[in-house]
Chain A
Amino acid sequence: MYTYKSGIAKIDDISGGFDAGSNILILAPPMSFADQLAYALTRPLEGEYSIVLSTNERASEVVDYFKLSGTDKRFIGVIDAITKTSTPSIADTQRLMFVSSPTDLTGIGIKFSNMVESIFEGDFSEGEQGLFPPPIRFCINSISTLLMYRRLEVLYQFLHVLTAKLKKTEGVGFYIINSESFDDKTLSLIKQLMTGIIEIKMDQNNNYMRVQGIRGVSSDWMKYTVTKGQVSILP
């Protein structure tokens, strides 16, 4: 079974990375730059592909972020749930797809399937081929936004289907949720869909994370920074 490197020695040296089929919740307070950590973990390594469902920023901004970290954009796909609201006639491309709004779960599901299918069929990367079966990293850059538009029960069912599909395709998923905006019931329900949790906290302008549910990896807090898509653990 494929293992997805995290780029964090404290995880990769012990567990090898994230097992294929893992779904990881990134539990983060506001303004903790959790998206940077999520993108760093979603960044495709050689032979891999990435798909980001963006509920917070435009596809172009997501792609720019990955480009800045030196990623080949031919291996990145974005499902953009923002742009179509202001530009209804924007057209899909192979790697940039648009849904009408974060409420449009039908569209999100279809675009996700279309991208995965196109990766499997080798149509995704302009003739460049990665590994087969293709390792796919997936990120939702905020479940919190989806929860603003949809009821928890509905979103739970939807994420249940999505995480199961990702598991079936042996991908890995990272899902950001704001740890301070939702009650315990909401967080606990979303956690049920996950195989691991990365919790973020901020203290005196420093970022800390701790990992739960990844075999062998300690759940101690680690001070970290993210620079150009690379996570560094600080002493």
Chain B
Amino acid sequence: MIPTGIFGLDEILGGGIPDGSKAVFSMEPGVNGQLFTISVLACALARGQSCLVITPNTSQEAFLHDAARLRTRKLEYAQGQLHFIDADERNQIRRSNTTSGKTEQAWKDRIASICDKYRIGLIVVYLDLISEDFGIEKGLKMLDSACASGSPTLVIEYLNLMGPDMPERFISEHHFDLVISIRSSFSPLPHFNYFTILQSAWAKNEPRSVPFIISEGKIVPYIPRIVITGPAKSGKSTFVASASDEGLSVDRMSADGTATTVVMDLGRLSWKDFDITLYGTPGETRFDPLIPPMLRHAMGVVLVLDPDRPENLPRARDMIRQIISLKIPVVIAANHRNKAGALSDDEIRAGLGINRDVPIFFISATDKGHVAKVLESLIDFITRFTY
């Protein structure tokens, strides 16, 4: 199995891409996703596999330079381990073959001869110009037949100009084992990138969309804003403190002598390769104008409420209505103190007007394990969300 080297993705895929599989990274134009294929290539080289890179739109030198820039370090490989068919070779093949049939055969022969001679374990193909030269059907068939003898793993980067249906065609018509669509969106954040695993033949998962950023030459799953909100004194600051690796809370003493948040709580944590920032809202009603701007770019919300305080349910209900109207994934954390007369799951659902799609967790906000479980559920929810 070739690891992808991408945080979070290998875990979802059960370790990486099985040898001999066909994988495609389908990139929407403009999305910075070139590191996906380069990361797989770097992992295969690190395993000692011989690799062939078919890059018809650039020279070998430019490819290696760009790969080093994207990774912030050079690709490491032994002499004779990395081979290319690049723009110069494409031009030579085109010049020396007068018909499309002959050109196609020349490509097949060239790929097959490199695969046989060097026992290629991974072929990385930049499909853009191949699909232009031959059409996508023919181009893929050509690659299939050229790779037939040694069964190397085939990883394709595809510039998807055909629209959102094209990745599905890689599954249904071209029988790819792994199909990942890399896209961007303007909501919930401007210039927000995410990848969606549409198909993984060996690790059966529901399609998942994982937001990411590129940091220090790596693709990092990234959830830039989870908002922790809820009525006053429900335990939001405690929740943020328990969840965070590092954080900040600005509290003042309230009239009843307890601490209350007057600005917001801020926490950052790394969880299962995700880089996550938490924003805790103040609970007092006078801070309500702060909440809509914080929700505006939120990717998920934890609504913390105290089931021992049924009088707070109407306020929590107003909050959840606002969250649901913005179509933000939400989970409920009922910060339970085991008091008699606390609201039950059904009573909370009835009070908030929510169905069973929204999970409710009875937790202690001081318990890091409980808090982690709530976040795990929310991240699961976020990655299943359609942007």
The chain A residues found within 8 Å of chain B, CB to CB, are 84-85, 88-89, 91-92, 100-101, 103-107, 109-110, 112-114, 116-117, 120, 150-151, 154, 157-158, 161-162, 165, 168
Contacts and interface: CB of A to CB of B under 8 A. Distances in A.
Contacts of B190: 120
B198 interface: no
Given A110-B32, A116-B191, A103 B129 contact: yes
Given A104-B58, A162-B29, 17 more contacts: A88-B59, A88-B61, A89-B61, A89-B65, A100-B57, A103-B87, A105-B128, A105-B159, A109-B29, A109-B30, A110-B32, A110-B34, A157-B161, A157-B162, A161-B28, A161-B30, A161-B161
Interface of B: 27-32, 34, 57-59, 61-62, 65-66, 69, 87, 126, 128-129, 132, 157, 159, 161-162, 184, 186, 190-191
Contacts, number: 75
A105 B65 contact: no
B29 A158 contact: yes
A113 to B, nearest CB: 4
- The DSSP consensus for interface residues of chain A is helix
Contact of A100 (B62, B157, B184): B62
A110 B128 CA distance: 14
A58 B371 CA distance: 55
B161 A113 contact: no
A-B pairs, top 6 by smallest CB distance, nearest first, are A100-B58, A157-B161, A88-B62, A109-B29, A88-B61, A113-B30
Nearest to A165: B30
A23 B191 CA distance: 21
Contacts of B159: 105-106, 109
A158 B65 CA distance: 25
Contact of B62 (A84, A116, A157, A168): A84
B88 to A, nearest CB: 10
Contact of B191 (A88, A107, A109, A120): A120
17 contacts: A92-B69, A100-B58, A105-B29, A105-B161, A106-B29, A106-B157, A109-B30, A110-B30, A113-B31, A113-B184, A120-B190, A150-B132, A157-B161, A157-B162, A161-B30, A162-B29, A162-B30
Contacts of A84: 58, 62
A116 B191 CA distance: 9
Contacts of B132: 150-151, 154
Nearest to A168: B186
Contacts of A161: 28-30, 161
B32 A114 contact: yes
B34 A106 contact: yes
A100 to B, nearest CB: 4
B31 A101 contact: no
Contacts of A105: 29, 128, 159, 161
* Most chain A beta-carbon neighbours within 10 Å: one of B31, B59, B87, B159: B159
A100 B87 contact: yes
A51 B215 CA distance: 25
A63 to B, nearest CB: 21
Nearest to B133: A151
Contacts of A113: 30-32, 184, 191
